[in-house]
Structure 1
């Protein structure tokens, strides 16, 4: 694709020229590129119990050395199949060897663990706490509720992307309805808990 020709100019010369002859200097720029090539296989290797270093070794060998990289040994048939998929992607024009040779570092992202998902839940809930603070209310969420939301908001194909929507549907929307109904108001501490698969809301004293 033409975009890779543009990237070659950017990574080779450190500058980019548009169709009108205008040039932008990229010499002091860090370029970060992401790709999901091999993501399905990474997921399969993870589910099969492969170690993180084994998965990273497979990906780094493929990206840095290109087609024909020796993935024998620890990766076995897993690495052979992974390499075949990567070779196919390159033959289809997605990744060119001359582009790969200009990449300085490859970072492999593994599937999110439970601790990471819980931290993402905390980040999303922090935004809700800020909005409630504007209404002079506080928010307390139990670990059980966080784990329930994290479990429901994680998808094998999309990772944690549905998590924000799950928090909105399971916590934000019901809480908004309760606030409108007058169940919670200024000075209240809203406690969000879990009873089995159900998210429950209760009120604690502002001093607790």
Structure 2
């Protein structure tokens, strides 16, 4: 065949050639829909940017055809950029927040929005947001995905950061692709399984956060595959299709070196910010990564390694407040409410403001519920993960018991649950303390505004 035929190489059309082709197609369009010049430019830009598995002019023609059908179905005589964006959104899974780049709120408000969901990690969030903004400005290497290795003790917000990025940058919590890397710790079968699952997920969600939890637990062959993704921004699946990974944000988490991080956090600010000590910590931390089996080539390909510090008590209190606020909204949907903030409790129990209550003709020391939950549900080595168990044991279970009893007996004791703690908190001589969470049921109005919050 090679002897009998000459090979003719056809180059992909340029955007200018594609524009001319689209204009000719539009001129003979039997439906006589008007296609403004700015819409033609949008078709060229979107097909070039988001349809990476096909070539000009075919992918632009296909996008034009689909957009014309969209406009016709909506009984419009003019094709709009919204029609084009709808096709890209529906067929190529690109979030509308990405397609409407002129709305820069998601970039300029990203840091503040992440802060509202991830507590006590301002320095880490700032580094992440800076990298995203540099990328959004068209600077840096656009051929590979942004990548971050988030390191720190368990329960300090690493996974929560990935979830927050999916919501506040890509516009939807469904734009999170999550893998527990402990599932891929067995040599060859792990590599093939990870490649297949990752390629399939990213093929249908190319604009997403790819979260790889506990990266150190994966087999080295899987890490070699990740090295290719971080380096080339693409992966070929078992059917020979090249899948685009370059528009992802790859977030890897690890607990490696957590003891080093805890020890550094115990030092003074001047020690932690001393340049020489920072260099020493960086070397020790990299040695910990190498000692855990991560190869130097892999570490070098990661865009940024970011340390998540152990949480301080004020940050833990804010996290508890968020969790209780969420619980309160759930309760309000069923006609109940949770009262726990000191200012709200003081309105019902005036002596609470002075730290005491009168119970059975005696004075009891009383404290905010959040202080009690910090004691029962937070440890620096475990982060805030035990908080959910503490809230379940001391708050949710008591509310649930009362609600179910009312449903069964019909006896109403009040739809507002007022929580606080009685007794003595831990101190230097009593490390465990002797206090307990208590609740009183009263009848208070529940505002509709709070229910819908």
Q: Same fold (TM over 0.5)?
A: yes
Q: Quick check: 2:420–2:438 contact (8 Å CA) kept in 1?
A: yes
Shift of residue 89, structure 1, vs aligned partner? 4.0
User: Are the structure 2 counterparts of residues 16 and 52 from structure 1 closer, same or farther at C-alpha, using a change threshold of 3 Å?
Assistant: farther
Distance 2:270 2:245 in 1: 34
Instruction: Please list, as runs of the form range in 1=range in 2, the aligned pairs for 1:1-208 lying within 5 A after superposition.
Output: 1-47=220-266, 49-51=267-269, 54=272, 73-74=276-277, 79=280, 83-84=283-284, 86-87=286-287, 89-91=289-291, 94-143=293-342, 144-182=368-406, 185=412, 188-196=415-423, 197-207=435-445
Shift of residue 155, structure 1, vs aligned partner? 2.0
TM-score (norm 1): 0.77
Distance 1:124 1:50 in 2: 31
Q: Quick check: 2:414–2:441 contact (8 Å CA) kept in 1?
A: no
Distance 1:184 1:114 in 2: 40
Q: Quick check: 1:112–1:159 contact (8 Å CA) kept in 2?
A: yes
Structure 1 gaps of 5+ residues are: 58-70
User: Are the structure 2 counterparts of residues 185 and 51 from structure 1 closer, same or farther at C-alpha, using a change threshold of 3 Å?
Assistant: farther
User: Are the structure 2 counterparts of residues 84 and 137 from structure 1 closer, same or farther at C-alpha, using a change threshold of 3 Å?
Assistant: closer
Structure 2 equivalent of residue 66 of structure 1: none
Distance 1:84 1:131 in 2: 46
Larger Rg: 2
Q: Quick check: 1:137–1:186 contact (8 Å CA) kept in 2?
A: no
Distance 2:411 2:271 in 1: 50
Deviations 1:55-102 (A, max 9, x none): 7x8xxxxxxxxxxxxx8x3369xx37x74564254155x222222222
Distance 1:163 1:130 in 2: 18
Matched residue SS, 1:203: strand
Distance 1:137 1:178 in 2: 11
TM-score (norm 2): 0.37
Say what the alpha-carbon RMSD is for the aligned residues: 2.9
Structure 2 gaps of 5+ residues are: 1-219, 343-367, 424-434, 447-453
User: Are the structure 2 counterparts of residues 122 and 105 from structure 1 closer, same or farther at C-alpha, using a change threshold of 3 Å?
Assistant: same
Distance 2:303 2:225 in 1: 17
Matched residue SS, 1:37: coil
Distance 1:97 1:32 in 2: 18
Equivalent pairs counted in the alignment come to 188
Matched residue SS, 1:156: coil
